[in-house]
Structure formats: structure tokens, C-alpha cells
A and B are shown apart, each in its own frame.
Chain A
Amino acid sequence: MGFTFALPGLALLLVFLAIPFAMAIGLSFTNLRLGSPLGIRWVGLENYTETLGDADFWKAFFNNVWFAAIVVPIQTALALWLAIIVNQKIRGVKVFRAIYFAPVVVVMAVAATIWLLLYSPDRGLINGFLRFVSFGVIESEWLDSTTMALPAIMIMSIWQGVGFQMVILLAGLQDIPNELYDAAAIDGASRWEQFRFVTVPQLRNTLIFVVTVTSILAFRLFDQVWVMTRGAPLGSTRTMMLEMVEVGFERQQIARGSAIAVIFFLIVLTATLVQRMVLKEEGN
């Protein structure tokens, strides 16, 4: 009976997740193209050597790394700070919680569209504000600039996503027993010491989870760049997922697209294994 219950779900998982995953690995060693009349042929590691020898791929990869290096610490720290201030027991705090979470509900494609206009160099609100507070001195080309385009996307991504992490961390904060703070206070611990020696250790697993998820998200980066820049200017916002869509879909090279997918998966797997290892360490 249990098997009958599970059957539809298991069949769907098999067809749409497990098999395609096995196919990604298998196809990455072939020359398969979409709609090609030529037969499929084994090509060994060719797709991998070509991908890893491609400057565009490395450009994309390092953009993802750069994105992760900046966004993961900043977004996690901000989310923790927000979680702490919306965990205060004061009237109306739930309204603020909802407001900080609201951008998550404004899905990424819409958020990216709004910010496209906010970032407009000429008439955008952000430059308007910067010119106003700096008496016309500070402004930026934002998405039109090779140095500022990716940071602009980072800022927008943090704005859109930080509420999600905030809520996860808030749940973690609320699980911390109040007695721990009371005990620390009796021992004369300052606010900072309470944070350092009670909050952070108690929140450790949640923080590790948030860091892992945000890191993986940084390598999945697609929606924002698809809507805002398509990798421009000069590849400065190119990402691995953009590269995969261009190779596997627009150029119809399923095999090489699969190789990029496998490389991407190895990165995700590494992040997950690191998370597990760090979590286990605490067990002792």
C-alpha cells in the first residue's frame, strides 16, 4: 500500500529529475545537438576541454565567484541584523517584518525590471539621489559600465532576497531560549557579548544553512542578468547559467550545455559537502 501511495511522485521524480540528471552526465561526453540529422557520437572529454579552454566560460565563472564573494557575506550579515531588529518585542514590529519581506514577493523578473529604470544613468532615481546629496558630483553609469554593472546587480539582488534569509534567521533566533540571555545578563555580559557568545553560537547551524543556500544561489544567477543586461557590457555580467542557456539552447549544443550543467552541479555539490563537514565538526 505504501508503494502505491508513493508511486506517482516517485515516477515523476525519476522521469523529470533522476533520468535527466543521468543524461546530463552521459550526454556531456557526446556531440549531441538539438535537431541535428547527424548521428550521436562519443567524444570523450572534448566538451569539457573546450569549455574549460573557453575564455568566455572563465569570465562567466569568475563573475559568479565575485558575486558570491561579495553578496554572501553582506547579505547574510544584513539578514542577521534585520532578523535581530525585527525580533524586538515592540508594537507593530510585524508590519516591519512584512515590509522587509515584501521584495521577495515582488518576484525577481519584476524586481529586475523596476531596478533597470532606477539605474538609468540619465534619468534614474539612484543617480538622481546621488547627484542631489553630492551636489552633482557623484553619479555612475551603473548597468552601462563594465565595472559597475555587476555591483549594481548585486545591490538589486540583495534588496530582493535579503528578506527571505531574514525570516529563516528570525525563526532561528526565536528558538534560542530566553534563559540563556538572562543568564548572560546576570553574568554582566554586554549587548555585544550576548550577541557574540549567545546569539552566534546558538544560531550556528542556521547561519551555515543560509550561507550555503546563498552561495549556491550566487552560482544559479540568471533571472536578473537575463532581464537587465544579458551579460553586457562586454561580458561583465555574463554568468555560468547565461553561458549554459546560450550554448545549450541558443546554439543548440545540448552536449556542451550538459557539460556546463555538470560543472555547475559539481560546484553545488562542493558547497553542500562543505556545509555538511562544517555542521559535523560541531558534533564533537
Chain B
Amino acid sequence: MRVKVRLFARLRDLVGSAEIDQAVPEGATIATVWDGLVSQHPALADYSRAVSCARNDDFSRMQAPVRDGDEIAFLPPVSGG
């Protein structure tokens, strides 16, 4: 199955793209998607303990399962205000 990955701020800069179409295996979780990204872009590893995630425009958890066509977003630590 495939998911759309969205990246923001420095994560986007490190990967060089705001959106990626990514193939993931059946039974994948958001953590599976993240680990796949890190293997392609090792600089992201620094964020593994600090990243937040969202699934289809709602906050989610790394252990949450993903479905075909999901939009998964990874968020570096925030700095609004």
C-alpha cells in the first residue's frame, strides 16, 4: 500500500521535499513509515525521539496502524507564537 508523507520546517529541508509518496508493507504503523524515511535520509535520525506525527490531519501516535491512501505528517518540535 501507499501513503502520502508530509514534512514540515527543518524535516522538509533535510529531505528536500514537502510531500513524498511512499510504499509501505501491509500491517505498517506510523513508526514503520518514519523508519523507512530515516533509512533513506539518515539525517532525520536525530529527530526520532522528538518528532510528533499526524494521520489524516489529526495528531496520532507512532504505534498507530496506517491504511492505504493515508496522509501521514511528521512534525519537528514546534515554535509558534
A and B form one complex: no
Interface residues of B (CB under 8 A from A): none
Interface residues of A (CB under 8 A from B): none
